[in-house]
Amino acid sequence: MNGAAFRSEEVVVGQEPFLLQGTLTVPVGTGPFPGVVLVQGSGPHDRDERIGPNTPFKDVAEGLSTCGIAVLRYDKRTFRYKDRFAGGISIDEEVVLDAVSAMGVLKTNRAVDATRVFVAGHSLGALLAPEIAHRSAPVAGAVLLAPPGRPMWQLIPAQLRYLGVPAEQIALIEKEAEPLKSGTASSGTFLGVPMAYWKDLDSRDGVGMARKLQRPILIMQGERDYQVTEEDLATWRRGLAQVDGVDVVTVPGSNHLFIHGEGKSGPAEYSVPGHVDARVIEKLCSFFLSARE
C-alpha cells in the first residue's frame, strides 16, 4: 500500500470499563471523506484481525484509505480484556456495543463525512453488520464479508466434515448441539461455550435486519472459503432477492480471509503469509465511493 496516501491516528472506542484501542486511517487530501468501521469475526481478534502472519483488516484499511476512504478498526473486547469473560459473554458484549460505539467515533471525526459512514463486517461481524447499522442509524450502507447463513450448530459440523474429522467425533458434537437444534437449550455448554451465548447468537436475524435496512448492501464471498460457503450465501440470496440495492459478489480463488490461493483451502493456509485480494479492495472502494446516504 502507498503509505504516503494516508495517515494513521490512534483512537479509543467503547465505554468504561472496556475502553478499546483502535486505529483510524485517513486519506491525505481535502475531506471530509466517506468512512467505514471494520468489525471482526468470532474470537479474540486484534484490530488487524490477525490470523498467523496475515492481517486482513490492516490490508483492507490501508487499501481503502489509499483510494480515499477513512477506516476505523479496533481491538475486540475479548482480545483486550479476555480474562474477564471466563464465565460467558453476550453477543452485544462481544461485538455489537463496541461496533456501535466505533460508528459514533467515526461520525464525529472532522475528517469524516457523517452522512457517508458504513459498517463492514467479516464472518460473525458480517452476520451482525445489518443490526449494527440499524443501531447506528443513520448509516450509508453495509458490507457483509463472508456472512454465515446457517446456525452454528449446523455450520460447525459441516466445517469438520470438510476437514475430514472422524464421523464419530462429529456425531458427539452434533449430540452436544441437539438442545440448540431443538430449541430446548437451557444450561450446559456447546464446544465449551455456555448455551446462553449460542442461543443469543441464534436469535440474531441478519437477513431480516438486512431486509429492513433500506440502504445499499454489498455481500462478498470467497469461492475457496470452506468456513462460510455457497450454501450460506444462498440463504442471503434468497432472503434478499426482492430487496433493492443488494449486490452479491463472489471472488474466485479467495479463501475465508479473502486471500487468493490455489487448490483445496484449509486451516494450514492461514499460516502462509498473504494479502487480501486486490479485487476485493477495488470492489470495496467502488462501493463506498458510489453509495450515498
Task: Print burial letters for 162-192: b (CB count within 10 Å at least 16), e (below 16).
Answer: eeeeeeeebeeeeebbebbeeeebeeeebee
Q: What does the alpha-carbon distance between residue 262 and residue 31 come to, in Å, rounded to a whole number?
A: 40
Digit-coded pLDDT (tens) for 222-255: 999 999 999 999 999 999 999 999 999 999 999 9
pLDDT at 2: 60
Q: What does the alpha-carbon distance between residue 104 and residue 102 come to, in Å, rounded to a whole number?
A: 5
Q: What does the alpha-carbon distance between residue 62 and residue 160 come to, in Å, rounded to a whole number?
A: 34
pLDDT at 88: 85
Does the active-site annotation cover 271? no
Q: What does the alpha-carbon distance between residue 21 and residue 74 come to, in Å, rounded to a whole number?
A: 6
Catalytic residue from among 45, 256, 260, 275: 256
pLDDT at 265: 95
Digit-coded pLDDT (tens) for 54-95: 999 999 999 999 999 999 999 999 999 988 887 789 999 999
Average pLDDT per consecutive 10 residues, the chain (293 residues; last block may be shorter)? 84 95 96 96 96 98 98 97 86 97 97 97 98 97 98 95 96 93 87 92 96 97 97 97 96 98 94 97 97 56
Q: What does the alpha-carbon distance between residue 171 and residue 173 come to, in Å, rounded to a whole number?
A: 5
Does the active-site annotation cover 225? yes
Does the active-site annotation cover 45? no
pLDDT at 293: 42
**Looking at residue 103, what DSSP letter applies?**
H
Catalytic residue from among 123, 136, 254, 265: 123
Q: What is the pTM of this model?
A: 0.96
